[in-house]
């Protein structure tokens, strides 16, 4: 089964591992009565529906998912909010580890917005975006963007050739467009919280694509829980 989904021009979401399944949710809820199921049945599906509908969320925190994500910083910094915090008492706490350009000098990759992907300022809001700009306008800015990346990359490489340390030379790279690789580990509840919020119509389009990929991968592992938790 393919556990990697390509996103944007060169990004992806890969499901690395899981702990638990729909049965874990059911048995976590039933432990109060010292009961357990060996396989999911119709009664168990109804229980999952009841738990989700009535916001009995603790059973959904006994299952964990670990993802590897490759995304431009403009997505990663929004996604980072969903680790919630580092306090172990917080039920939505997750873990996050990210590649660092203090240590690596691999070829930088940048998010290149296609000519048909540039969006207008929205008419009814001061933030977000609206419909796509005409192709001829978008193509112009894609060309300008590529030119900007080339210039920044040349400056970055020249700085290192002159002896500037990597952790300072990186300031010449266009930060928000730079792709970063990270591991995200979170409970099933936290993952669905991210999916629900970032699939909303007013979420940034780029992170919506990452949310859809996360949904698709999670759905294969927790089909009954996802059906009830994702609105």
113 and 181 Cβ atoms separated by less than 8 Å: no
Quick one: pLDDT band at residue 189, thresholds 50, 70, 90?
Answer: very high
Quick one: pLDDT band at residue 90, thresholds 50, 70, 90?
Answer: low
Q: Does domain 4-101+178-229 have CATH number 3.30.1360.170?
A: yes
The pLDDT value given to residue 215: 98
The pLDDT value given to residue 87: 41
The pLDDT value given to residue 100: 77
Q: What percent of the chain clears pLDDT 70, i.e. is strictly above it? A: 93
Buried b (16+ CB within 10 A) or exposed e, 150-178: eebbeebeebeeeeeeeeebbebbbeebb
Quick one: pLDDT band at residue 88, thresholds 50, 70, 90?
Answer: very low
The pLDDT value given to residue 86: 36
The pLDDT value given to residue 2: 64
**Active-site residue 198, yes or no?**
yes
Please state which of the ranges 39-43, 96-100, 164-168 shows the lowest mean pLDDT.
96-100
The pLDDT value given to residue 84: 55
Sequence ranges of the domains in the chain: 4-101+178-229, 112-177
Burial, 147: exposed, middle or buried (Cβ in 10 Å; 0-12, 13-18, 19+)? Answer: exposed
| pLDDT at residue 93 is higher than 60 | no
Average pLDDT over residues 134-151: 96
CA distance 29 to 93: 20
The pLDDT value given to residue 85: 40
CA distance 79 to 214: 12
Query: Among residues 14, 61, 181, 198, which one is catalytic?
Result: 198
Please state which of the ranges 119-133, 145-159, 212-226 shows the lowest mean pLDDT.
119-133
């Amino acid at each position: 089964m393919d556990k990697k989904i390509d996103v944007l021009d060169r990004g992806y979401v890969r499901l690395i591992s899981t702990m638990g399944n729909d049965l874990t949710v059911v048995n976590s809820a039933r432990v109060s009565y010292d009961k357990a199921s060996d396989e999911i049945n119709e009664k168990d599906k109804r229980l999952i529906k009841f738990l989700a509908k009535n916001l009995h969320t603790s059973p959904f925190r006994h299952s964990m998912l670990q993802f590897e994500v490759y995304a431009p910083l403009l997505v990663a910094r929004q996604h980072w909010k969903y680790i919630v915090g580092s306090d172990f008492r917080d039920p939505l706490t997750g873990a996050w580890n990210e590649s660092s350009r203090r240590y690596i000098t691999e070829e930088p990759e940048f998010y290149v917005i296609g000519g048909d992907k540039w969006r207008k300022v929205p008419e009814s809001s001061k933030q977000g975006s609206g419909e796509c700009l005409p192709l001829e306008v978008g193509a112009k800015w894609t060309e300008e963007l590529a030119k900007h990346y080339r210039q920044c990359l040349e400056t970055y490489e020249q700085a290192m050739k002159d002896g500037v340390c990597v952790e300072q030379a990186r300031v010449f790279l266009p930060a928000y467009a730079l792709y970063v690789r990270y591991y995200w580990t979170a409970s099933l509840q936290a993952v669905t919280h991210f999916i629900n919020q970032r699939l909303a119509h007013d979420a940034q389009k780029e992170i919506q694509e990452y949310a859809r990929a996360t949904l698709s991968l999670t759905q294969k592992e927790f089909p009954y829980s996802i059906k009830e938790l994702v609105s």
